[in-house]
């Protein structure tokens, strides 16, 4: 039995859509993947990113954020580990900036479905975002069906966004421009992801 209304679900979807559109390491990563490897290789990576992002919604629904509140050190530990993971990705991207273009048949730098999940699980802040949004929009008591519908909505939005990004950034015109400026695009992407990882560790 559903306890949530269509209006509440629509508000949740609109809020999540606005949050997804804000720049972050996942957007940079899926764009770089599509530029370098094309749509066929970027799509599974994008789907992994979407799945990883949606899993934070699931953890919020299941009460992981309660643990963060009771044991703040667990959140800090996840932030540090996640930040270090992003910095590691940035270093690999920086080192590969002068490498020749990758073979589209080969995945690089963890640009696989599981690599996408790992990247979006490296930042625990979405769990707090989802928790805050869920608490502010929906009733405190949610049935199993409510939680299933909320998670399905989140997963569908994340999948739709990352699929669109992977397809858009793999368009021939954009890929040709990437080929012409691969070194600088990779360096800028590495710096952006590295700074995001560092800010994740340092920001309170």
Q: What is the pLDDT of residues 20-54, one digit of tens each?
A: 776 677 877 888 888 888 888 889 999 999 999 99
Contact 41, 104 (CB under 8 A): yes
For residues 5 and 1, give the distance between their C-alpha atoms in angstroms, rounded to a whole number: 12
Nearest C-alpha neighbor of 169 from the set 25, 51, 42, 50:
42
Task: Decide if 19 is inside a domain.
Answer: no
Domain that holds residue 65: 25-202
Task: Decide if 153 is inside a domain.
Answer: yes
pTM attached to this predicted model: 0.73
Q: What is the pLDDT of residues 113-170, one digit of tens each?
A: 998 998 888 877 787 778 778 877 887 678 889 999 999 999 999 999 999 989 998 8
Q: Supply the DSSP string of 129-141, one letter for each residue.
A: HHHHHHHHHS-S-
DSSP letter, residue 106: S
């Amino acid at each position: 039995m559903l306890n949530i209304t269509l209006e509440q679900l629509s508000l949740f979807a609109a809020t999540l859509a606005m949050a997804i559109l804000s720049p972050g390491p996942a957007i940079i990563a899926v764009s770089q993947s599509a530029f370098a490897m094309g749509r066929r290789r970027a799509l599974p990576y994008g789907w992994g990113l979407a799945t990883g992002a949606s899993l934070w919604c699931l953890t919020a629904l299941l009460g992981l954020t309660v643990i963060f509140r009771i044991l703040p050190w667990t959140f800090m530990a996840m932030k540090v580990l996640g930040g270090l993971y992003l910095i590691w990705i940035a270093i690999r991207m920086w080192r590969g900036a002068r490498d020749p273009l990758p073979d589209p048949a080969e995945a690089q730098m963890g640009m696989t479905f599981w690599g996408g999940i790992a990247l979006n699980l490296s930042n625990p802040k979405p769990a707090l975002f989802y928790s805050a949004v869920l608490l502010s929009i929906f009733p405190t008591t949610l049935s199993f069906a409510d939680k299933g519908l909320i998670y399905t909505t989140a997963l569908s939005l994340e999948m739709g966004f990352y699929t669109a990004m992977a397809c858009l950034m793999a368009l021939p015109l954009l890929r040709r421009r990437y080929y012409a400026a691969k070194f600088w695009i990779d360096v800028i992407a590495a710096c952006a992801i590295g700074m995001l990882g560092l800010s994740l560790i340092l920001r309170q």
